[in-house]
Chain A
């Protein structure tokens, strides 16, 4: 992607010139808070939204000029897609495999493979409408996997899933990637980005503000240790989070403040975001555990 810009009719600029190279077989997570422009970016990549400016090329195909041809190489899970509830899981997968251009025999084989891979065997002949939200999300991911497309684009694939289902999906994605599939996924879960991806692109206000491996991103931090404690100086024991360049500095601070309860952590992607964007990452699932 080069110079990708999306400006809506009301003047809102959702993407302000995104440049991104994804290597074949690589997993790239697009990370950013809600409203950062992740979904707009992915919708342009999947041909759903026409960019105002810039170019997108997928395996040599101009996505903007030849969307149908480009989509033959993609498996896509949109963020807010719905399933057809009156179909059984098997019917849903078979019909969509056919719509992806697979022959009847190949569609049947792909359906069996996806049902097996996603652990849907016991639900295969049940109607989609009778399944839980987590299982339906798995079906949506399964639809993207049909026919083993060389590029998977998943927009927040595990949002709304319980931790167990999330881990199942992560396992499946790892397995798919080992077979050489390129994966681009958006997420606002730091853990998901860290666990799954080779490189992470952090998007904020429609721009890629950082792009690299977890190690590369962490190396950008001047202060790579984080100390969390309840401040004894305040009557309410307010939670304080401070960052330090070395472990020794953290220990010195603990001794100086005579802290008995605290937590020390290595810097995370959250800290990288804080450092670059100048504000905390709005992750509602973040939990501080104090020792």
Chain B
């Protein structure tokens, strides 16, 4: 058990070094772009008369931007790192070690959670400066928000791991992670009410983890605790994607 924990921390530290070096692009993806999306959503969400939006709508936009940040960092950026590990031979280095593939995946997940923590915290702090007032209840609401974020990250990371393990080429994999990073956001009602989406997208959004993530984040930020159904759905989705992710991540080829 201690050995496994040590392995996971080492894998985490190896990837953290990358984050240290590429802090600029990371902040761009995890904070700046989602912040720009928040401002964009606020602008187009303003009524013609220029009436100020209600607090709930602003919190919806903040929740959407938090999910957008998670999607960009946990699918697009992390997926890219994993693809790079595989196609530049770095994964081979791990494969030479007496390291369980699951420890590698867990190290990557811890790294993704660290990214999510940084991105979400900075976004919430900046949103406060923009005048967004949340009503997160302590400690229950905060714990529920944490659970929603963790399950969302695990779910989308699982998708990233599957793509990175199965892509036939680097370009195919990076195209998929980029498309999914954006697609998971725009195919789900994260900046708008579900009924505002066209009917086909409404149906599609039911299988998008971002739908439940955005609703869960929004509910908790507004002071509600009724996120049981969202947590359950995210937990099921995370279990499925991680189960597949752990299964496809193998050192030994047939």
Contacts and interface: CB of A to CB of B under 8 A. Distances in A.
B97 A96 contact: yes
Contacts, number: 81
Contacts of B18: 84, 86
Contacts of B90: 81-84
Interface residues of B, number: 28
Interface string B45-84: 0000000000000000000000000000000000000000
A99 B20 contact: no
B168 interface: no
A78 B95 CA distance: 10
B253 A99 contact: no
A198 interface: no
B254 interface: yes
A81 B93 contact: yes
Given A71-B96, A95-B10, A81 B89 contact: yes
Contacts of A84: 14, 17-18, 90
Interface in A134-150: 140, 143-144
B98 A72 contact: yes
Nearest to A91: B17
Interface stretch (A30-38, A44-52, A118-126, A283-291): A44-52
Contact of B98 (A68, A78, A82): A68
Interface in B113-138: none
A91 B100 CA distance: 21
Given A48-B252, A81-B93, A143-B93, A98 B6 contact: yes
B93 A100 contact: no
Contacts of A81: 89-90, 92-93, 96
Q: Which of B7, B95, B254 has the most CB of A within 10 A?
A: B95
B98 A95 contact: no
Given A47-B252, A50-B254, A71-B98, A95 B93 contact: no
Given A78-B89, A86-B21, A50 B252 contact: yes
A96 B96 CA distance: 10
B97 A100 contact: yes
B14 A46 contact: no
A101 interface: yes
Contacts of A91: 17
Nearest to B84: A82
Given A47-B251, A86-B17, A80 B92 contact: yes
Given A71-B97, A84-B90, A95-B10, A48 B3 contact: no
A86 B21 CA distance: 7
Contact of B7 (A49, A69, A99): A99
B96 A144 contact: yes
Nearest to B88: A82
B246 to A, nearest CB: 16
Interface string A82-111: 111011000100011011110000000000
Nearest to B19: A86
Interface of B: 3, 6-7, 10-11, 13-14, 17-18, 20-22, 88-90, 92-100, 251-254
7 contacts: A77-B96, A81-B92, A81-B93, A81-B96, A84-B90, A86-B20, A99-B94
